[in-house]
Amino acid sequence: MSDVNATTFTIVVALFVLVTGVGFAAARWRRAADMMHLDEWGLGGRGFGTFITWFLLGGDLYTAYTFIAVPALVFGSGSIGFFAVSYTILVFPITLIFLPRLWSVSRVHGYVTPADFIRGRYGSRGLALAAAFTGILALMPYIALQLVGIQAVLQVMGVNAASTNTFLKDLPLIIAFLVLAVFTYVSGLRAPAMIAFIKDTLIYVFVLVAVFYIPTRLGGWGHIFGAAQTHFASVNPKTGKPFGTFIPTSKSVGATQFDFASLALGSAVALFLYPHAVTGTLAAKRRGAVKRNMVYLPTYSVLLMLIALFGYMAVADPATSASIKKAGGNAQLAVPYLFQHMFPSWFTGIAFAGIIIGALVPAAIMSIAAANLFTRNIFKEFFKPEATPRLQTQISQWASLVVKLGALLFAIELPKTFSINLQLLGGIWILQLAPMLIGGLFTRWFHRWALLTGWFAGMIYGTVAAYNVSAPTASHWAGSSDIVFGHSIYIGLTAVIINLVVTVVLTLVMKAARVPEGADETLPHQYTADLEQVAAPAPAGVGLSPASD
Amino acid sequence: MTQPAARARSAVSAHPVTSAAIAIAMAADIFFVLYTPIYSTVTPKVGDWPFFYFYLLIFMPITSVALWLVILLQKRLERSRQDPAAASQESGMRP
């Protein structure tokens, strides 16, 4: 602990203690008569307005891993990392098309998870199970990566970096996570919603200060862009190829314009298929709050653009580049090192605390979302159909603990690259829900068995294709794009196209064979309903629509 | 005109211009980001910023404004959907 800066460390600890207090206090915020209800614990009472939803979704979607991984990709490969920026622009028009419909139908029927909707729409437990399984599978590594984000910050802070004892080395991480687990158990979704205010304030402050201040230290934007352009055009002696690209190329293979666009499109469609994004959405009180947030949330994308540019600043700053090289070339340390070299230690402390707290908010929401999926679509569906709202809430509380402990083991025991590969796969997997979820919000034409087969085909193709991607530095899992018909393209997109084709063909077959389609408990006008059209829910009937009883 | 589905359709046909404007705003918003050849260039530089990076930066406020307009227009459609009498009045000669 000799090279730990006392000021930085103190500020980080102080802000962490503050957040812990807020996390526990959140249990009393907007208190309801009966808190042992999934609508309360898992969805914060379904009463958040536009303003709170903006903080909640912003805190939910722009995660600590994003703040670490996007600049890391930009630092390592150049322009391709900016697909994340183009994706966070695209996501809002695309999401505006289907998300308000999901909010409305979920509100009418009291759905808590996306799989609840699939169950109600197609009358198929199997399809809902597939959706729940995919959701949990995609969320686990995502939570683990939030820890990887924290680890990157702790490593640069020098906290126990010298210790060879795994347990001691990860002790700060374990403490942070246990605290997170306990206040999520107690306060449910209210905790991350309230902490998101602190997190976002810290992040907006440090990013805005950094983008105005750092360029003055590095000779202006012209020099930063110039240094990046020179660096990515120069040849990497290890691979014999350029380090990266400064602008997506018009070639057909590599970091191409087509690859860039396919990554952006695939990720944009996938974002609101993630269960934690749906959880944040369903917590909104009104349909209008969901819609308006598609207008206000792009503010965070501006922030992400600036954060991505930190990658270029790290390239342009010789001291940062040297530190990263010294740490074995781990590009994930780009942002923490940049801040350490550029700012006085108290400000670095604020920035580091922002990133650490930025990991806690999404990790809490993700674990709640995964827990709800388990409770609603596995436990209640297959083991205890008569589970009361109280029991469902208790199961979710415990499941959220298990999910977080699992993620902790992931992050500590397995090599970091394993989590990263799984998260890459998670994006591909979650995209396979698009036909059943987005499709189902607009049409009942697809057959449930066709959707299930299409989902399976997409999952298999996506997994195998991702495994087979190789690079000079890695024989497998080297990226999220492969080459189809001579063009680099995002695997998730190819997989979902295969998924869709299988679904359409089999739907025609199933309809010709007159295979039963299952009961649909939803009605067309319920997809546009707002709060006024929703009947007050019966006190004991959470999540149980009248039609399914 | 009592079925919800029929009413939804009538709202679109009652306001063809509004509906088209919504569709165009959404499509343009998606297309101009997705079609990368438009902006994958270093020049013209805006100040010190290469065009690629400048384009991505300014497209976010543009998206916000476009979606704000879309939501305003959708409200018009929804109002006529909830009030079919007003919708058929606006559509005038429609049978």
Q: CB distance from B19 to chain A under 8 Å?
A: no
B86: closest CA of chain A, how far (Å): 19
Tell me how far CA of residue A81 lies from CA of A134, A334, A425, A428, B35, in angstroms. 26, 14, 17, 17, 17
Q: CB distance from A247 to chain B under 8 Å?
A: yes
What is this structure's pTM? Answer: 0.86
Q: CB distance from B5 to chain A under 8 Å?
A: yes
The H-or-E segment that residue A439 falls in is none
Q: What is the DSSP string of A215-246?
A: HHHTTHHHHHHHHHHHHHHSEETTTTEES-BS
Contact A24, A172 (CB under 8 A): no
* Block residue for tokens 């959707």: A451
Best to test chain B binding among A83, A89, A96, A221 (most B CBs inside 10 Å): A89
Token digits of residue A318:
């010789």
Least CB–CB distance from B26: residue in A85, A89, A93: A93
* Block residue for tokens 């990133």: A355
Q: Considering the domain A6-21+36-434 in this protein, what is its CATH number?
A: 1.20.1730.10
Other Cβ atoms closer than 10 A to A153: 28
Best to test chain B binding among A207, A286, A301, A442 (most B CBs inside 10 Å): A301
Question: Taking 50 as the threshold, does the pLDDT of residue B95 lie above it?
Answer: no
**A residues 91-110 closer than 8 Å to B (CB):** 92-94, 96-97
If you count DSSP H runs as helices and E runs as strands, how many of each does chain B have, helices first? 4, 0
Question: Taking 70 as the threshold, does the pLDDT of residue A61 lie above it?
Answer: yes
Question: Taking 60 as the threshold, does the pLDDT of residue B4 lie above it?
Answer: no
Question: Taking 70 as the threshold, does the pLDDT of residue A549 lie above it?
Answer: no
Model confidence at B93, pLDDT cuts 50, 70, 90, reads very low
Model confidence at A9, pLDDT cuts 50, 70, 90, reads confident
The dihedrals phi and psi of A165, each to the nearest 5 degrees, come to: -75, 115
Q: What pLDDT, on the 0 to 100 scale, is given for residue A228?
A: 85
Question: Taking 80 as the threshold, does the pLDDT of residue A532 lie above it?
Answer: no
Nearest Cα neighbor of A115 from A376, A368, A432, A366 is A376
Nearest Cα neighbor of A335 from A308, A310, A304 is A310
pLDDT digits (tens, 9 = 90+) for B41-54: 887 888 888 999 99
Model confidence at B1, pLDDT cuts 50, 70, 90, reads very low
Name the average pLDDT for chain A. 83
- Label the pairing between strands A487-490 and A481-484: antiparallel
Would residue B82 be called left, alpha or beta, if left means φ above 0 and alpha means ψ between -120 and 50 degrees?
A: alpha
Binary contact (A298, B33; C-beta < 8 A): no
pLDDT digits (tens, 9 = 90+) for A62-97: 888 788 888 888 888 888 888 888 988 999 999 999
Q: What pLDDT, on the 0 to 100 scale, is given for residue A413?
A: 76
Q: CB distance from A292 to chain B under 8 Å?
A: yes
Contact A372, A112 (CB under 8 A): yes
Binary contact (B35, A261; C-beta < 8 A): yes
A-chain residue closest to B56, CA distance = A86
Least CB–CB distance from B48: residue in A220, A258, A260: A220
**A residues 462-501 closer than 8 Å to B (CB):** none
B89: closest CA of chain A, how far (Å): 22
Q: CB distance from B68 to chain A under 8 Å?
A: yes
Question: Taking 90 as the threshold, does the pLDDT of residue A458 lie above it?
Answer: yes
* Block residue for tokens 């029929």: B6
Question: Taking 60 as the threshold, does the pLDDT of residue A11 lie above it?
Answer: yes
Residues of B in contact with A294 (CB under 8 A): 67, 71
Q: CB distance from B95 to chain A under 8 Å?
A: no
Q: Which residue(s) pair with A235 in the sheet?
A: A242
Residues of B in contact with A82 (CB under 8 A): 52-53, 56
pLDDT digits (tens, 9 = 90+) for A248-270: 876 766 667 888 888 889 888 98
Q: What pLDDT, on the 0 to 100 scale, is given for residue A66?
A: 81
Question: Taking 60 as the threshold, does the pLDDT of residue B8 lie above it?
Answer: no
Binary contact (A298, B56; C-beta < 8 A): no
Q: CB distance from B44 to chain A under 8 Å?
A: no
